[in-house]
Amino acid sequence: MDNERKVAGVYIRVSTEDQAREGFSLGEQEEKLLQLCKFKELEVYKVYKDAGISAKDMEHRPQFQEMLKDMKEGKLNYIVAYKLDRITRSVRDLEELISVLEQYNCFLLCDRDDVNTSTANGRFFVRMLTVLSQLEIEIVSERTKFGLNGAIKSGHIPGQRPFGYKSAEDKRMVIDNATRSYVEKIFDMYLEGKSFQQIANYFKENNIYPKKNWKDTTIQKIIDNKIYMGDYEQYKRIGKQENLEPIVYMNVVEPIISRAKWEECQRQKERNQRTYTRDRVYIFFQRLKCPSCNRIMKCKGSGGTKRKYMYYTCEHCHINFNEDHVEHLLRDFIYDLLEYDMAVKKFFLPVLEDKTNNIDTTSIDKEIRDLEKQRNRIKDLYIKGIVEIDDFKEDYKLIEDKLANLETKKLELVNLETFNYSPHELLAERDLEKEKMIRLDTLNTVLKTKWDGMDKSGKQEFISKFIDTIEIKKDSKGNLILEKINFRNGFIRQLVKFYERGIFDVAVPVRVGDKEETIKGGRMNEEQLDKYLSKMNEYFETSFYEMYETIDEETNEVILEYQPKDNEKIIRFVAISPKDKFPITVDNVKDKYGIISYKTNELLERI
């Protein structure tokens, strides 16, 4: 072909969807493009028409392929189209097309998009337009799935119901209160360090829900399933086979466990290696990190039948910690956790559970009635000789177990419903009880008795409930030094929830007299402070003293100071603010800070 000649192949394409949406008929496109060729002084070699064909790929468009063949044979050196998406909506196909056009010295013109690939800027602009076109294709594809997605998001989950869930009357997936406690037990046991097989054996040995085929794979599927934290994962099983990326729909059903607990269980998998010794119970099982390489330390034991020496060891760095020494090092810290756990169970459980006075047990009542009907039907079938005694016993026990779980759940809800509380009155009750025990020198005795009364399994379970990892090192003399404790996310979220409600402790540095002390404190508004003081004053004289601020001459930082009074003990530091939430920091000096204290001589008289 003469290099000076400009010969064009006019390409027009329309799909049924395009024509219905925007009226891009073949006739209209042809007319406009022939006018463009005349204006650009292009000689038209041929008009290529693909009717009713999408732009997902170029391979399955016969007229487009014929046009490329003619271009390669030198019959044309321009391709003219109405819009870029008439050519392709695939970034990959576009890159391939531009490469071929450059190879054969051919250019692309698009009327509506002002595209011209004869320049570098024009080729860049084409790529940007194609990215947008591909996005449009993906959006259209998503719209075809909209009905299914909408159903999933409203709780209509496809497929068989996982253990712990059932179908409601409207076919939505809802929690099965008769079996939810078993799911909770599985996740709790896994966080304690139990293996999949150990959990399965426990459920089989205790004849829990015998119709379930308890195997290690059964437990693993439950631990892996996102549905238990409220999320549904689509294409999880078939994704790898059909090259599909799993799609996760978040918060589509009511969760049985918290998101934090599910995520902690996934991290637990990394620790549950078969190399760990499991023939003995170790208090700090999978909790100690090697101070040199940060690996989780393995457990080993030595000694005879009378005395077992338990060790945590890193085989890579040859570092060993004696369990008795670790327990002694962490004793005071463990006592603090015990006191916290006791306080939560006795005073703050309703706050932690977010329970109010509008609890509805209707759904549980209905489940109980349905199970009672099933039980009566099984009795009738057995009496009539239709069901054998073994089948009767198995089915009857299963229903009885479910009923017991539902009755327990209902009782818990009713107890919380009838629990009238003010959070800051509860806080006062807790502080009062703690101060009484401190003054009578019984707190440590109670905590020591509680800890020593646990067996090794109980201690291990307690530690795993709060602590993720512990970092310890040895000094030059071989003494153990506590470097850091990393808490579990679930425990941290509990503390955050308490802190947001202003009813738990945050360590705050305060200058008391001529020295700095760390005092536990929280935040309250003035109404909450009045409730707290009113409750405390039922037992002894309590005072609130507003603190004053000074500026450190060297650091220029604001320092909160309090001058102690005679015969008074500080209970807690308080930040007072009319706002609902605010950070307690020394920078937040616009809020009012104070100290709550009581007269020590009066407390002993009133105990």
Tens-digit pLDDT profile for residues 503-556:
777 776 777 777 777 777 777 888 888 888 888 888 878 888 888 776 767 777
Look-up of token digits 């101070």: 291
Residue pLDDT, tens place only, 67-82: 999 999 999 999 998 8
- pTM for the structure as a whole: 0.51
pLDDT given at position 476: 87
Q: How many CA atoms lie within 13 A of 37 on its CB side?
A: 27
User: Distances from the Cα of 149 to the Cαs of 1, 51, 154, 234, in angstroms?
Assistant: 55, 32, 9, 10
Determine the longest span between alpha carbons in the chain, in angstroms: 114
Domain with CATH 3.90.1750.20 in the chain: 151-269
Residue pLDDT, tens place only, 108-153: 888 876 677 766 667 677 666 656 555 655 555 555 454 555 667 6
Q: What is the residue type of 26?
A: L
Number of H helices, E strands in the chain: 22, 22
Residue pLDDT, tens place only, 487-505: 887 788 778 778 777 777 7
- Strand segments (E) across 295-411: 298-302, 309-314, 319-322
Q: What is the 3-state secondary structure (H, E, C) of 36-60?
A: HHHHCCCEEEEEEEEECCCCCCCCC
Domain with CATH 3.40.50.1390 in the chain: 7-144
pLDDT of 440 above 70: yes
Q: How many CA atoms lie within 13 A of 346 on its CB side?
A: 13
Query: 136-150, 226-240, 274-288: lowest mean pLDDT where?
Result: 136-150
Q: Choose the most confident range, by mean pLDDT, from 144-158, 227-241, 347-361.
A: 227-241
Q: pLDDT band at 471, cuts 50/70/90?
A: very high
Q: pLDDT band at 586, cuts 50/70/90?
A: very low
CB 445 within 8 A of CB 305: no
At the topology level, CATH places domain 7-144 in: Rossmann fold (3.40.50)
pLDDT of 233 above 70: yes
Contacts of 601 (CB under 8 A, 6+ apart): 567
Compute the average pLDDT of residues 155-177.
85
At the topology level, CATH places domain 151-269 in: Hect, E3 ligase catalytic domain fold (3.90.1750)
Compute, in degrees rounded to 10, the torsion defined by CA atoms 363, 364, 370, 373. -140
Q: Determine which one of 15, 25, 54, 258 is catalytic.
A: 15
Cα separation, 369 vs 365, whole angstroms: 6
Q: pLDDT band at 335, cuts 50/70/90?
A: very high
pLDDT given at position 428: 85
- Is 457 annotated in the active site? no
Cα separation, 262 vs 226, whole angstroms: 8
**3-state secondary structure at position 473:** strand
